[in-house]
A and B are shown apart, each in its own frame.
Chain A
Amino acid sequence: NAGVTQTPKFQVLKTGQSMTLQCAQDMNHNSMYWYRQDPGMGLRLIYYSASEGTTDKGEVPNGYNVSRLNKREFSLRLESAAPSQTSVYFCASSVTPGRDSYGYTFGSGTRLTVV
């Protein structure tokens, strides 16, 4: 099925542990994004990759790192997890802007709990 695939779907970490959230898209999209969703705060951009080989910080990058492994894959790493990183994480992708193609495709999310 075409789309954005995120793994894992659920994860519980202890404070201080590290982990990598994986994201892959098979739509040949150029840009990829990582958001976190918290109650009452909507979606906040953590990092994005406008094109293969580039990454940039978003609104809330502290405590995270990313890797754009290739055009398909964009991973998010938590080096030392903290309870404040308990959230639902969404990966999204988009094409280079073209009138009818504008808009993101989202993955189904990773629910992360840090205890």
Chain B
Amino acid sequence: AQSVTQLDSQVPVFEEAPVELRCNYSSSVSVYLFWYVQYPNQGLQLLLKYLSGSTLVESINGFEAEFNKSQTSFHLRKPSVHISDTAEYFCAVSDINTGFQKLVFGTGTRLLVSP
């Protein structure tokens, strides 16, 4: 069965510093990969996704993630964070060959941005 590992439960960082949130998945089969963001007391929102094509995908608010098949990783990065990026971030994976979408989520990484 698929599994997703987010090794860092919490990442503190200062405003305008770069950040990387790590995500590794277990399966060697073809997968789709996602990052979701959860702001305090809200539901999860899709941040970005990798389905095929370029291994580097970007979000509209400056985050990017790179699919690395050999390392089974999909790390999320941002070159300069803002206070408003404080949230919990979840990595998720889905096997391509299922007939419907069934995502497996990691345990989440809480990004804490301070002035």
Contact = CB atoms under 8 A, between A and B. Distances in A.
B108 to A, nearest CB: 5
Interface in A61-111: 90, 92, 94-97, 99-100, 102-104, 106-109
How would you classify the secondary structure of chain B's contact residues: helix, strand, loop or mixed? loop
Contacts of A102: 32, 49, 51, 94, 101
Interface string B77-115: 000000000000010001000111111111110000000
Contacts of A109: 42-43
Q: Which of B6, B99, B103 has the most CB of A within 10 A?
A: B103
B49 A50 contact: no
Interface residues of B, number: 26
A87 B106 CA distance: 17
A99 B9 CA distance: 31
A42 B102 CA distance: 15
Nearest to B109: A42
Interface of A: 4, 30-31, 35, 40-45, 48, 50-51, 90, 92, 94-97, 99-100, 102-104, 106-109
Given A4-B43, A44-B105, 17 more contacts: A31-B101, A35-B105, A40-B9, A40-B107, A42-B106, A43-B44, A45-B104, A48-B102, A94-B100, A97-B99, A99-B52, A103-B34, A103-B46, A103-B49, A103-B101, A106-B43, A108-B43
